[in-house]
Structure 1
Amino acid sequence: MYFPLRLLPFIATALLMLVSSGTAADEIRVAVASNFAHTLKAVASNFETASGHQVKISIGSTGKHYAQIHHGAPFDAFFAADSKRPALLEAKGAALPGSRFTYALGKLVLWSPKAGYVDAQGKVLETGDFQHLAIANPRLAPYGRAAQEVLQKRGLWETLKGRAVRGENIAQTFQFVKSGNAGLGFVAWSQIKRPGQAVSGSWWEIPANLYAPIEQQAVLLNDSRAAQEFVRFVQNEESRQLIRSFGYDLP
């Protein structure tokens, strides 16, 4: 097709506008609970390669993300560390009806970077000579709530809560232990488990009957095509097996 030379600058500008608008539309803004951040980054990298879309990830506590979304934060999807907040958003009409699904089942461990320190039954909580025990804030973080349940069932909550240092989220809690500011702490198994790598330190993998299931759910916050594609990608079999390799159980 022939275009007069005088029209070429206008045609080029129009094409540039189309490309620019397409690129902006293909950025997906995702709020994610801190325990799932490393895993979601791995899944998102695969998605970006396969789709050409870009995934912008915001990491934080489930409680804080919920409050931000409730006040209008412009996220396209929310990957929470519980099922309560996504259900509330759906009930309030802030999420797409029917989009909520369970993407992972979290696992809680008691961990220390010191080899041989945490025993396989968690008796170190009663006998260990530690000054600080790291725990995520039970009011904000589902893993912190689970840790409190474990201590209560072991009859240790009243004894140890005075020695607890509380992280705003599970990522901060993990840093307390990793840095040595706390001798040991309740963290997500996914924080110390990496595909193809040996787990460092010592840990107690806490029996599931000591805390309520950590059912981690996601929900769509708008119906953009790219966001829907991303959510479907997270649920495919390849992504599910990647999630499992980072230390989660699957629904």
Structure 2
Amino acid sequence: MFRALAFCLAILAACTARAGEVQVAAAANLGPVMDRIAAAFARDTGHRAIVALGSTGKLHTQVRNGAPFEVLLSADAATPSRLVEEGLAVSGTQFTYALGRLVLWSAREGVVDPRGDVLRNGAVTKLAIANPRVAPYGAAAMETLQNLQLLARWEPHLVTGESIAQAHQFVASGNAGLGFVALSQVAENGLIARGSGWIVPARLHAPIQQDAVLLKAGAANPAATAFLVYLRGNAARAILRHGGYGI
């Protein structure tokens, strides 16, 4: 019995020794799904993902300033490409892990109609968006207003958050009556589950193509490579799909 116990402990110690950690910088829109992805990753691989959330622009700046991130999950495709060009990410590791979806959302039921006509006909209120200079969802919101020819109407009433997470908080708290947020922030099983909202048609803004890339700091870390492999697998894709992302 003691010999068998010693053997099991030896196997457990070997597995623990092989387990590692990866520092993941993730776009703020991923907040609602990253805990589930990290938990599933740990369960299935033994590795641990340490996740920091922020606007894509802010995360890019932090990487350039030496932050020890090893993987970037961006809210766009341009930032990972830029990091490769800057020598801060590993060439050939960039891929699209999700397609983001923009939603006009109110925390209250019955405020936003299924066609988004509230933008034209509803009472003017504060409209929350993420900073379009650093957050791709904010840029998509501005592009949507421009294509609807409603920017002039709403621009004086915009409330700008540093990230899509802060824009969502403005609306959830009632500080803004409406906001452009990520579907992932208000979705269950890919559908709006809280308040009322209009999923913005893809034709009204450029695709929100969300890419991942291995950063140079993680090039020698097996856990970083394992995380990117896991992100492309069925378990992570199912979590993303349930959270409201296109795959």
Matching of residues 195-210 of structure 1 within 5 Å: 195=189, 199-210=193-204
Q: Distance in 2 between matches of 1:225 and 1:196?
A: 32
Matching residue within 231, 235, 239 for 2:236: 239
Partner Cα separation in structure 2 for residue 186 and residue 198 of structure 1: 13
Q: Distance in 1 between matches of 2:189 and 2:70?
A: 28
Q: In structure 2, how many angstroms separate the alpha carbons of the residues matched to 1:197 and 1:146?
A: 20
Show structure 2 runs of 5+ residues with no match: 1-12
Paired AA for residue 177 in structure 2 = G
Determine which of 101, 117, 128 is the counterpart of 2:122: 128
Deviation at 1:182, TM superposition (A): 0.3
1:189 maps to 2:183: yes
* Deviation string, structure 1 residues 10-42 (Cα, Å, up to 9, x no partner): xxxxxxxx99x948x812100000101221221
Residue segments in structure 1 that go unaligned for 5+ positions in a row: 1-17
Looking at structure 2, the residues matched to 249 and 198 of structure 1 have their Cα atoms a distance apart, in angstroms, of 14
Where does 1:40-119 land on structure 2 (aligned, <5 Å)? Answer: 40-119=34-113
**2:156 matches 1:162:** yes
Q: What residue identity is the alignment partner of 1:204?
A: W
Question: Per-residue CA shift, 1:158-189, capped at 9, x if unaligned?
Answer: 12111000010000000000000000110000
The answer to whether the 8 Å contact 2:106/2:177 transfers is yes
Amino acid at match of 2:239: L
Distance 1:80 1:220 in 2: 11
Report what 1:174 is aligned to: 168
| 1:197 positional shift | 8.5
Greater shift in the superposed pair: 96-105 or 128-137 = 128-137
Asked if 1 retains the 8 angstrom alpha-carbon contact of 2:96 and 2:212, the reply is yes
Q: Confirm whether residue 212 of structure 1 aligns to residue 206 of structure 2.
A: yes
Where does residue 227 of structure 1 map in the other structure?
224
Runs of at least 4 residues of structure 1 off by over 2 A?
A: 194-198
State the 1:113 CA deviation: 1.3
Instruction: Note closer, same or farther for the CA distance 1:168–1:198 as it changes in structure 2 (3 Å cut).
Output: closer
Give secondary structure in 2 for the equivalent of 1:118.
coil
Greater Cα shift, 162-171 or 229-238 = 229-238
| Of 129, 132, 142, the match for 2:136 | 142
Distance across 1 between alignment mates of 2:93 and 2:222: 13
TM-score normalised by L of structure 1 = 0.88
Q: Whole-Å Cα distance in 2 between the matches of residues 141 and 197 of structure 1?
A: 23
Letter in 1 for 2:27: A
User: What number of residue pairs does the alignment pair up?
Assistant: 232
Paired AA for residue 228 in structure 2: V
C-alpha distance in structure 1 between counterparts of 2:192 and 2:82, whole Å: 38
Alpha-carbon distance change, 139 to 198 in structure 1, aligned in 2, over 3 angstroms = closer
- Which is higher, the Rg of structure 1 or of structure 2? 1
Amino acid of the structure 1 residue aligned with 2:129:
I
Q: Percent identity?
A: 45
- For 2:245, the equivalent position in structure 1 comes to 248
